[in-house]
Amino acid sequence: MSVAESPHNVSIQNMDTPVLTISGREGSKEGELSGPVDVAVDKDGNTAVLENGNKRVQVFDARTGQSLRCFPVDGEDHWGIDVDSDGQYIVTSQNLSGTGKQAISVYSREGELRKTLKPEFLGDPLGVAVLKDGRMVVADRTANSQFSCLLLQPDGSLIREIGKGQFLNFPWFIAVDDSRDLLFVTDFYDHKVHVYDLEGNLKVSFGKEGENEGELLNPSGITFDPTGNIIVVNYDNNRLQVFKAGGTYLRTVAIVRGKEPTGITLTPDGHIAVACFAGHCVELYRYK
């Protein structure tokens, strides 16, 4: 469907132009980014960016894009970030290099390492989402390439595995809606979104592979809005879309300009922040 034919009457300019672009300069200096893989909103409303290339978290002013501070993170192959109710940063690191450094690390608001969670069942942790009570959900791949979403206590002990042996081909990023006890996860290779309750029951699964409106093509970042609509970005064709809770397509927010969009988050002032891994930037698009 062309833009002119779209019932949502979205203009090319609105779809293609971010309200704010953070960095876009690849580098290791403050204010520069290297392989930004995920984003989160901190307790002050700023944008926290996890950099895979620089092995650090860098915090930017959400309004101006100015770098405020940064701090190094332990481990390798970093992938997911979230902020808990105390303002602590939760960061996942994988074991892709075979170094055994897979972990979930917790950092203070000032960037000091508070604790490292490395339960023996942890394989390659990917996306992470923290509940208000401190529990967390981590997308994980075990040594035998079994995928699941791990519901964990704040100390890293396992509550339950969600989705293991059920539909999950490659869970990448996740989001959790505390108010509805729902877990949203993108399945990269199956071109789908799965929604589970926290007891592990599959509630909804949707997605048709393709490049058109309402279709998914290697979905990566995922979040939700206050009404329960699901927001997801395609890694391969950069389409940022909104679906109803049941999977019905609503609209396209933007065609993300930056290369290889990965993690996303919804900001308090109604923008979607998109980490663009190969674009070395974070782009903000108007949602409301």
Please write the tens of the pLDDT for every residue from 69-101: 999 999 999 999 999 999 999 999 998 878 888
For 212-263, the pLDDT digits (tens) are 999 999 999 999 999 999 999 999 999 999 999 999 999 999 999 999 999 9
| Cα 151 from Cα 157, distance rounded (Å) | 9
Query: What pLDDT, on the 0 to 100 scale, is given for residue 143?
Result: 61
State both tokens at 55.
């092995």
Q: What is the pLDDT of residue 169?
A: 87
Residue 152 near residue 137, CB atoms below 8 Å: yes
Percent above pLDDT 70 for the chain: 94
Lowest-pLDDT choice from 6-15, 112-121, 130-139, 175-184: 6-15
Given pLDDT bands bounded at 50, 70 and 90, which one contains residue 1? very low
Determine how β-strand 249-255 pairs with β-strand 239-243. antiparallel
Average pLDDT over all residues of the chain: 92
Please state, in angstroms and rounded to a whole number, the distance separating the CA atoms of residues 13 and 286: 12
The stretch 111-121 carries a mean pLDDT of 96
Residue 214 CB neighbour total at 10 angstroms: 18
| 20-286 topology per CATH | Neuraminidase (2.120.10)
Which band of pLDDT confidence, cut at 50, 70 and 90, is reported for residue 15?
Answer: low
Burial class (CB in 10 A: 0-12, 13-18, 19+), 165: exposed
End-to-end CA distance of the chain: 23
pLDDT for res 164 = 86
Q: What is the pLDDT of residue 264?
A: 98
pLDDT band at 185 (very low <50, low <70, confident <90, very high): very high
Are 185 and 193 spatial neighbours (Cβ–Cβ below 8 Å)?
A: yes
**Digit-coded pLDDT (tens) for 140-175:** 987 667 899 999 999 999 999 999 877 788 999 999
pTM listed for this prediction: 0.93
DSSP secondary structure string for all residues of the chain: --TTT-TT---HHHHH--SEEEE--BSSSTT-BSSEEEEEE-TTS-EEEEETTTTEEEEE-TTT--EEEEEE-SSSSEEEEEE-TTS-EEEEE--TTSSS--EEEEE-TTS-EEEEE--TT--EEEEEEE-TTS-EEEEEE-TT--EEEEEE-TTS-EEEEESTTTT-S-EEEEEEEGGGTEEEEEETTTTEEEEEETTS-EEEEE--BSSSTT-BSSEEEEEE-TTS-EEEEETTT-EEEEE-TTS-EEEEEEE--SSSEEEEEE-TTSEEEEEETTTTEEEEEE--
Neighbour count for residue 192 (Cβ, 10 Å): 20
pLDDT reading at 13 higher than 50: no
Q: Give pLDDT, residue 52.
A: 97
